[in-house]
Amino acid sequence: MPRINNAYASLSSSYLFSEIARRVRAFQAGNHGKDVISLGIGDVSQPLVPAVIEALHRAADEMADAGTFRGYGPEQGYAFLRRAILEHDFRRRGVDLDEDEIFISDGAKSDVGNFQELFAPDAVIALTDPVYPVYVDSNAMSGRCGGYAGGKWSRVVYLPCTAENNFEPDLPETRPDVIYLCSPNNPTGTVLGRDALRRWVDYARENDAFIMFDAAYESFIADPEQPRSIFEIEGADEVAVEFRSFSKTAGFTGLRCAYTIVPKKLKAAADDGTVLSLHGMWLRRQSTKYNGCSYVVQRAAEAVFSPSGQAQTANVLNGYRSTAAMMLQRLGKMGLCAYGGIHSPYVWLQTPDGMPSWEFFDLLLNRAAVVCTPGAGFGASGEHYVRMTAFNSPENTSAALDRLASVL
Ligand code: PLP
């Protein structure tokens, strides 16, 4: 029989969302297809803004003309988009990068999942708990996480994020090679402030570790004083890679466009002592295995930075923000304890009376026909929490909260 990558054999199936879907189907089958309101969706619900749609049409027309048609694009993405990103997302916040430190891609999920290929097979990774599952699963696929038992991988350093530590992970006792941080965080909806980020950058510099910084939700940060990029912290360009996406910023979950910043100062050693730049390695990896995000989509992403694109996307984001604010306010009125939701579309709700998160999920589904995401599915420290999102319409969210109030 052909042999496989053994690491896949020890991966659990993607249990969380398939289990949620199974329970929702069972509920509907037993309740004459009763309408269920989902506060579990992690996808945007608002359409692309007009500035983006216009750019898509224009670029599509260019593809129809032999004079303006584009085939394979530049490996790291078109200069027009990298320049716009550099100007709007970094220089305006005092961060200077080289344009070629920006790599355009089709998604932060693929980039953050693929980047681990560059690390040693036995590199030790540190993860916040609860966590966006892609970080752990992509490392597990490379056989880097050890054995899985009791909900934990034996070679992973877990960094619990709980109400007790204000959802700011403490520095680890065991030194990892790679640290995954996500701010604003999925699932807790909380942000790491400047001091917390500085602590991690200093730690990584002192301990020869890399930080994989996922800023997919940075556009939800409402307070201009909060850092949006890890590169706002001095010295981060020697230790950190940053992942960003147009998915939640501008509704590109279906269109697909993201970018990753790999500073040229990042260096790592091979076993024979050869020092390599991570920038060069990532370029080599991408140019071998990836052919880029389409011209049409990159033009659409560029339009997000136009004055009308900025105003229109800000409007959509404000809509999600006010839904999140409504959720926080109403959950508070119900006497529930909720975190996040201010600089993030995610609200991290503590279950009442220490109820296990799947039990609370079942209660909401069966008594209120409302769906949330059980926190235990994001890691052991997610137990006794559920994640709710602000991506549903304000009307549906409000109706779901009415149902919740009547059950509680
Ligand atoms: N990073 C985090 C923390 C996410 O929650 C998500 C999507 O939900 C992604 C990355 C994926 O982004 P993209 O749509 O660009 O692949």
Q: What DSSP state is assigned to residue 354?
A: G
Choose one of 128, 132, 182, 252 to mutate for the ligand 1 pocket test, by most ligand atoms within 8 angstroms of C-beta.
132
150 band by pLDDT with thresholds 50, 70 and 90? confident
Q: Distance (Å, rounded) from C-alpha 238 to C-alpha 71?
A: 35
Q: Where are the alpha helices (DSSP H) in 259-306?
A: 278-289, 295-304
Q: Distance (Å, rounded) from C-alpha 350 to C-alpha 375?
A: 9
Average pLDDT rounded to a whole number, residues 201-214: 98
Average pLDDT, the chain: 96
Average pLDDT rounded to a whole number, residues 176-205: 98
The answer to whether residues 236 and 230 touch, using CB atoms and an 8 Å cutoff, is yes
Cβ-based neighbour number of residue 311 at 10 Å: 11
Q: Distance (Å, rounded) from C-alpha 297 to C-alpha 369?
A: 38
CA-nearest residue, atom 2 of ligand 1: 216
Tell me: pLDDT of 15 over 80: no
CA-CA-CA-CA torsion sign (385, 390, 392, 393)? positive
Nearest atom of ligand 1 to the alpha carbon of 111: 16
- Interhelix angle 295-304/307-333, nearest 10 degrees: 70
Cβ-based neighbour number of residue 176 at 10 Å: 21
Average pLDDT rounded to a whole number, residues 348-375: 97
Q: Are strands 102-105 and 37-38 parallel, antiparallel or unpaired?
A: unpaired
25 band by pLDDT with thresholds 50, 70 and 90? very high
CA-nearest residue, atom 8 of ligand 1: 42
Choose one of 221, 248, 290, 343 to mutate for the ligand 1 pocket test, by most ligand atoms within 8 angstroms of C-beta.
248
Q: Distance (Å, rounded) from C-alpha 299 to C-alpha 4?
A: 40
Distance 126 CA to ligand 1 centre (A): 19
Distance 303 CA to ligand 1 centre (A): 21
Going from the C-alpha of 171 to that of each of 107, 204, 235, 236, the distances in angstroms are: 29, 10, 18, 16
Average pLDDT rounded to a whole number, residues 49-61: 98
How large a percentage of the chain has pLDDT more than 70? Answer: 100
Tell me: pLDDT of 229 over 90: yes
Tell me: pLDDT of 42 over 90: no
Tell me: pLDDT of 13 over 90: no
Q: What is the pLDDT of residues 315-345, one digit of tens each?
A: 999 999 999 999 999 999 999 999 999 999 9
Q: Any residues with Cβ below 6 Å from ligand 1, and which? A: 42, 107-109, 132, 182, 186, 214, 216, 245, 247, 253, 258
Tell me: pLDDT of 146 over 80: yes
Helix, coil or strand: residue 307: helix
The answer to whether residues 300 and 257 touch, using CB atoms and an 8 Å cutoff, is yes
Of the given ranges (35-44, 76-85, 284-293), which has the lowest mean pLDDT? Answer: 35-44
Distance 355 CA to ligand 1 centre (A): 29
Distance 405 CA to ligand 1 centre (A): 31
Q: Looking at residue 34, what is its pLDDT?
A: 85
23 band by pLDDT with thresholds 50, 70 and 90? very high
Which are the contacts of 68, defined by CB distance < 8 A and separation ≥ 6? Answer: 62
Distance 110 CA to ligand 1 centre (A): 9
Average pLDDT rounded to a whole number, residues 397-405: 97
Q: Looking at residue 408, what is its pLDDT?
A: 86
Q: Distance (Å, rounded) from C-alpha 210 to C-alpha 200?
A: 10
Nearest atom of ligand 1 to the alpha carbon of 182: 3
